[in-house]
Structure 1
Amino acid sequence: MEASFELTLQMVIAVAAGIGAQVVAEYLKVPSIVFLLLFGILLGADGIGLLHPHSLGSGLEVIVALATAVILFEGGFNLELRELGKVSGSLRNLVTIGTAITLIGAGMAAHWLSEFPWTIAFLYASLVVVTGPTVISPLLKLVKVDRQVATLLEGEGVLIDPVGAILAVVILDTILNGETDPIRAISGLIIRLGIGGGIGAIGGLLFGLMFKRANFLSDELKNLVVLAGVWGLFTLAQLVRSESGLMATVVAGIVLRASSVPEERLLRRFKGQLTILGVSVLFILLSADLSLASILALGWGSLFTVLTLMFVIRPLNVGICTWNSDLNWRQKLFLCWIAPRGIVSASVASLFSIFLTERGINGGDSIKALVFLTIILTVVCQGLTAGWVASWLQITSKEATGAVIVGCNPLSVLIARLFQERGESVVIIDTDPVAAQQAEAENIRVIVRSALDKGVLEEAELDSVGTFLAMTNNGEVNFVLAQRAAEEFNPPRVLAVFPRTPEANNATGKAKVQQAFIADLPLKTWNEYLKDGRVKLGTTTLTEREFSFQQAHLQALMRTEAIVPLFLEREDQFLIAPATEEWQPSDRIIYILHDPRPNLLKRLSGDCNARRLNVEKLSKVEEVPIPPL
């Protein structure tokens, strides 16, 4: 009974510490692995001694294996084949040629600098060829880099993980069995990859059929079926050929994503939550079992080994693998800097340390210590500086311009024209061909299809624009579209016109959806005003001296629905005005004002026969005094 309680206590501590580290990291906007490592070490034997992972016995290996399977499946499921196609050459090179470069370079560095025997040196090298999606994915959520770089980093992290893990197993077999035939080693690697890939592909296809055909299952049960299936595929692949299970889970995720299942968003959210839990528990347990004395005992040579891996081998790797790509030097330099190691390196190194110790082979603890030193240095140095480096290189997606607007109506056309006057590209999506023709007459690109179709958003190139705005007459549809855009394409700015409800209040913070313009905008009313020419386009700049008065005056007019702010100009940024934005002195507000006087349209357009608002060049829009209440 006491032993059972001790195991329960250990798991509860690990889960609580892991989630606590995630919360702190989320609050401070830094990579979670930094606090996971810190909390694990503090709770372990070298800290307060509250957590003892070795007490779990063989259960630790089971936890590591099953959690890693879910993590890699989720990574494969998040890969977008269409995006991978844009960088397929570079990605293929990084996973193949890059693996060989890192293996040889890190092996030589570990032998000559850390003075490891050749076999142990190359075993270490095989453990650090992986870059780790569990670190890169959260990092890219914090640091918004352009889509091509993000896709390449995510693809490398996911695809190289099973390759590196299987490569490490091949080298470990060579050490344990004394087998030095390179042909047998290479064939073993290929066979494991092939078996795992085949089983994973079949499993992914079956998952896709289940989602499309098994309508009698609820969405929640389908998610659990996939979880059970992932573990089943992992175990089956392991039974057929040891260490092929990791490849099976990655391929299953990629194939299922390519099947375009209708419940994809719910499944991704469920698997994402499991991955966060798995990563949190694993890092806490593995870092708690780490001996700081073993890291200090490595000496300066091991520190130089890691620095060589970061500043010599990685740049050489990226330079060779992206030589003929269309990446510019800024993108390549960022790729050279970002290569943090993650949970696969840590978990496999911990298992190998146990295997080597059990067989009486020296070097197990040293390998584990050097791998964790690599994780600590790469995560801390690269993870904490990634945002600054991306900004310095000017490759952040926050610099993205242009807009995709769902809903073709007079107000959306006006907004599109204002974007175009700034030289930004705009695409409007709507199912109404008549409204589309009217917008096309204004030289605005329109896609006449439903925005609920993911392919339409891809055709509009939402992944490369700065703003997504949903403003159809149906507020609920707008909110759902904005949520999907935020989760699947993650543009820098996602806004929608929707009624303010408690549900929306809770969801907007999580999905990064902002309410556009003003709360509860009467869109139909303002569209009628525009059609009738009862709208005046105005702009005003908030000054430091009169800021409080101007802000209060504008907000009062907004509450009476006399004014709707459309755009906010701040520090050379041209942004759709969010309803909850806190204005600042020097902000320039571009708004529309309801003018009840008839025939205003003629005065604005200068054409007595005009039936639409002809907006002046934005650069020529003059300051318009704010009307009195």
Structure 2
Amino acid sequence: MDFANHLILLASGLMLLSIFAGIISSRIGAPLLLVFLGLGMLAGEDGPGGIVFNNYEMTYFAGSLALAVILFDGGLRTSFQNVRIALTPSLTLATIGVLLTAILTGFAAVWLFDLSLLEGMLIGSIVASTDAAAVFFLLHLKNMRLQKRVNASLELESGLNDPMAVFLTLTFVHFLQAGIPEWSLQSIFDIVLSFFWQLAGGGILGFLCGYLLLILTNRLNLASGLYPILALSAALLIFSGAQEIGASGFMAAYIAGCVFGNSRHRAHQLTNRFFDGLAWLAQIIMFLLLGLLVTPSTLAPVLLSGIALALFLILVGRPLAVFLCLWPFGFSMKEKLFVSWVGLRGAVPIFLGTIPVLAGVENADLFFSLAYIIVLISLSVQGWSLSKVGKSLNLELPPVPSKPRRAEIDIRHQDGSSIIIYTVEPMSFATRTKIKKMPFSENAQIVNVIRDGVNMSVGKLSYFLPGDHVILSVQHDKITMMDRLFGTQPVQKFWGPDKSLIDESLYFVVDGSSYADLLKKYGLILSKEEDEATIHDFMKKRLRGKVKRGDIIEVGEISLTVLSCDGNRITRVGISYIDDDMHHSPLLWFIRRIRGFIRRNFD
């Protein structure tokens, strides 16, 4: 009984300490996952905590559970739109890219540590994949808003590349134990078939089970608190079931999360919030255990060589693999450099490093130590500099509004719309724009407005006020836009090419080639020439052929800002209302328009 109490006290204390340390670390820009890992080391055998922990089996078990939860949660937050625009390059990075990284890093390990070729390839395989947990959390925690294809490629790659790393690790462990088989057409076919089944089997099982979970969620009449438990049980069942039949549980959990998260169901918001907290808990537990597992004194003999291998992986192995894999897909040099830099290593390499130890492979302790050193260097160097690299390469977009408070009522219409209640946030777009000018449509209609507990007639209101409760009937694909309307606007300082400060109120990312339909929703009347033009041609003409990030043109009451461009071609445009005169002084209004006139005619 005393042991159980001590264990609960210790575990809860470490988790609370991790949370408070995370608050402090966020203020100095330290990667949060590195903090969790460091706390585990401090609590371990060589640290002040002095806890002796060397249970690899328990670590492997806890790591499997945590990764299943994290990947399912990552799938919940991956939109099908991202899948469509980045599936091919992401799959290439997740397969060929991982293989190339493993081979290059393996040869470096052979040279640095005087190992056999098989041992070198095993080390390369262990550290070859990017870590889903590290990529998902660091990109979101640092509030980085990247160009869409870059962001989608990074998230999809990290969610899909674990099967390749697991397959290579298990293959080389088997070769080290049983010897290399006699190569024949049949043996090569068996290996290729095994890998194909890892990917395809996991993907098919994840898709089917994710759809089945969706049907069950919509048809079962459960207490609201049971729906997230149903999703969690299903995620773990899908992961373990795929592993049992020889497919990739990592792939199955991620794909099931994608299917479930991109479909409307009665517990959508409840499930997302539950898994958000659960993924945090999984991260903390996993990194604390991995920190406890290592004994820092055992890293000292291979520390310098391990750092050299980590730098080779970061500066040579990963970039070469990325440049070769992304070459056919038209990524710019800056995009390829950033994708190379975000090859974050986290829990997965350490998790895979336990496999040789559990299998009893010779030099297994060396493999585990090297994986640990590489993760520490990756989180320290890449994780700490992620935001600065994105800004220096001009790939980071202005931030979007924070998500507002909203509640979803379990009433689903035949057209697929839902009833959502928004609480209008201070400093939101909704408080600074006339209601009749807001981009509502037949897919997002106001049902009612409640102000100070009183039902208000929408027709008599000019503006929403902070604290208003706005009841909307919204189509699923319009919820993101509504979130931006009612969420608090971030404080932005974004400098244009003329060194003037751009202070825009709301950004909508435009991916299509034509902007006419979108602008018509704002009540603009366009000429025939403008109506048929692409967004690139229209803005380039207005800017007299000179296109730079930060250029602004004004069309009626709409401001268009160039957010990114590839050479002289515009790829992303921000759209926002020019604030009404009542929100700015006449002097500022006049200066803004004079500046726009000068830019359009004399730049």
What TM-score does the superposition give when structure 2 sets the normalisation length? 0.68
How far apart, CA to CA, are the structure 1 residues paired with 2:102 and 2:463? 52
By how many angstroms is 1:44 displaced? 0.8
Change (3 A) 1:126 1:219: farther
Q: Distance in 1 between matches of 2:256 and 2:104?
A: 32
Q: 1:619–1:294: structure 2 CA closer, same or farther, 3 Å change rule?
A: same
Identify the residue that residue 289 of structure 1 maps to in structure 2: 293
Q: Distance in 2 between matches of 1:399 and 1:496?
A: 15
Q: Summarize the Cα distance change of 1:253–1:113 in structure 2 as closer, same or farther, 3 Å threshold.
A: same
What is the alpha-carbon distance in structure 2 between the residues aligned to residue 362 and residue 326 of structure 1? 44
Counterpart position of 1:619: 593
Q: 1:471 to 1:113 in 2, by over 3 A?
A: farther
Residue 168 of structure 2 corresponds to residue 167 of structure 1: yes
Match of 1:496 in 2: 486
Moved more, 372-381 or 265-274: 265-274
> Could you tell me which residue of structure 2 aligns to residue 103 of structure 1?
102
Counterpart of 1:354 in structure 2: which amino acid? V
Counterparts of residues 191-590 of structure 1 (less than 5 Å): 191-214=197-220, 216-241=221-246, 244-298=248-302, 300-349=304-353, 351-356=354-359, 359=360, 361-398=361-398, 411=434, 429-431=439-441, 448-450=442-444, 475-477=468-470, 494=484, 496=486
C-alpha distance in 2 between matches for 1:12 and 1:27: 24
Partner secondary structure for residue 19 of structure 1: helix
Report percent identity of matched pairs. Answer: 22
1:50-199 superposed matches below 5 A: 50-54=50-54, 58-141=57-140, 142=142, 143-180=144-181, 183=188, 184-199=190-205
C-alpha distance in structure 2 between counterparts of 1:593 and 1:237, whole Å: 58
* Cα distance, 1:381–1:116 mapped onto 2, change above 3 Å: same
Deviation for aligned residue 1:593? 7.3
- 1:429-481 CA-to-partner distances (Å, cap 9, x unmatched) read 223xxxxxxxxxxxxxxxx43279xxxxxxxxxxxxxxxxx966993238999
Kept in 2, the 8 Å contact 1:338–1:382? The answer is: yes
| Distance of aligned partners of 1:12 and 1:75 in 2 relative to their CA distance in 1, 3 Å threshold | same
CA distance in 2, matches of 1:14, 1:64: 17
Looking at structure 1, the residues matched to 213 and 469 of structure 2 have their Cα atoms a distance apart, in angstroms, of 30
Aligned-partner SS, 1:477: strand
Amino acid at match of 1:389: V
Aligned partners of 2:259 and 2:363: how far apart in 1?
39
Partner AA of 2:86 in structure 1: V
SS in 1 for 2:582: strand
- Partner of 2:327, secondary structure, is coil
SS at match of 1:341: coil
For 1:223, the aligned partner's letter is P
Residue pair 2:445, 2:473 contacting (<8 A) in 1 also: no
Query: 1:208 offset after TM fit, Å?
Result: 0.9
Specify the SS of the correspondent of 1:322: helix
Q: Say whether the 8 Å CA contact 1:114–1:302 is kept in structure 2.
A: no
Deviation at 1:85, TM superposition (A): 1.4
For residues 46-68 of structure 1, give each alpha carbon's deviation from its aligned partner in whole angstroms, at most 9, with x where no partner exists: 211343333x6744333222112
Distance 1:589 1:429, change over 3 A: closer
Contact 2:76 2:258 in 1 (8 A): yes
Q: Distance in 2 between matches of 1:59 and 1:409?
A: 55
User: What corresponds to 1:584 in structure 2?
Assistant: none
Task: Verify the 8 A CA contact 2:127 2:345 in the aligned structure 1.
Answer: yes
Question: Contact 1:106/1:309 (CA < 8 Å) preserved in 2?
Answer: yes
| One-letter amino acid matched to 2:392 | W
The corresponding residue for 1:600 is none
Give the letter for the 2:434 counterpart: L
Q: Per-residue displacement from partner, 1:533-577 (whole Å, max 9, x unpaired)?
A: xxxxxxxxxxxxxxxxxxxxxxxxxxxxxxxxx99x9xxxx9989
Q: Deviations over 1:566-620 (max 9, x none)?
A: 99x9xxxx9989xxxxxxxxxx99741799xxxxxxxx9xxxxxxxxxx989414
Amino acid at match of 1:77: L
Say whether the 8 Å CA contact 1:479–1:496 is kept in structure 2: no
- Contact kept in structure 2, 1:167 and 1:189, CA below 8 Å: no
In 1, the alpha carbon distance for the partners of 2:218 and 2:319 equals 44
Q: Matched residues in 1 for 2:26 and 2:42: separation?
A: 20
**Cα-to-partner distance string for 1:198-251 (whole Å, 9 max, x where unaligned):** 33222111111122222x12332111011111112222223323x732222122
Q: Which amino acid aligns with 2:167?
A: I
CA apart distance, 1:7: 4.0
Q: Is the deviation greater in 378-387 or in 254-263? A: 254-263
Change (3 A) 1:33 1:311: same
Query: Which residue is 2:19 aligned to?
Result: 19
The residue type paired with residue 35 of structure 2 is F
The 8 Å contact of residues 76 and 254 in structure 1, kept in 2 or not, is answered as yes
Name the SS of the counterpart of 1:323 in structure 2.
Answer: helix
Q: Distance in 2 between matches of 1:381 and 1:37?
A: 15
Mapped to 1, the partners of 2:367 and 2:173 lie a distance apart of 12
Larger radius of gyration between Structure 1 and Structure 2: 1
Q: Secondary structure at the match of 1:53?
A: coil
CA distance in 2, matches of 1:364, 1:35: 26
Distance 2:397 2:147 in 1: 5
**SS of 2:161 mapped into structure 1:** helix
Contact kept in structure 2, 1:129 and 1:164, CA below 8 Å? yes
Q: Which amino acid aligns with 2:393?
A: L
SS where residue 48 of structure 2 aligns? coil
Q: Which is further off, 312-321 or 324-333?
A: 324-333
1:212 and 1:362, CA in 2 relative to 1: closer, same or farther beyond 3 A?
same
Q: Could you tell me how far apart the structure 2 residues matched to 1:471 and 1:131 are? A: 47
Question: How far is 1:27 from its partner?
Answer: 4.2
Q: CA separation of 1:247/1:590 partners in 2, compared to 1, >3 Å: closer, same or farther?
A: closer
Residue type of the alignment partner of 1:130? S
User: How far off is 1:102 after superposition?
Assistant: 0.8
- Alpha-carbon RMSD across the aligned residues, in angstroms, is 4.2
**Structure 1, 94-103 or 294-303: larger mean CA deviation:** 294-303
Unaligned runs of 5+ in 1: 415-427, 432-447, 453-469, 498-507, 518-565, 578-587, 596-603, 605-614, 623-629
Quick one: distance in 2 between partners of 1:342 and 1:263? 31
What is the number of equivalent residue pairs in this alignment?
A: 468
Deviation, structure 1 residue 495: 5.2
Q: Return the TM-score normalized by structure 1.
A: 0.65
User: Aligned partners of 1:489 and 1:279: how far apart in 2?
Assistant: 30
User: Which residues in structure 2 correspond to 1:597-616 (within 5 Å)?
Assistant: none
Offset of 1:489 from its aligned partner? 7.8
**Structure 1 contact 18–281 (Cα < 8 Å) conserved:** no
The offset of 1:16, in angstroms, is: 3.2
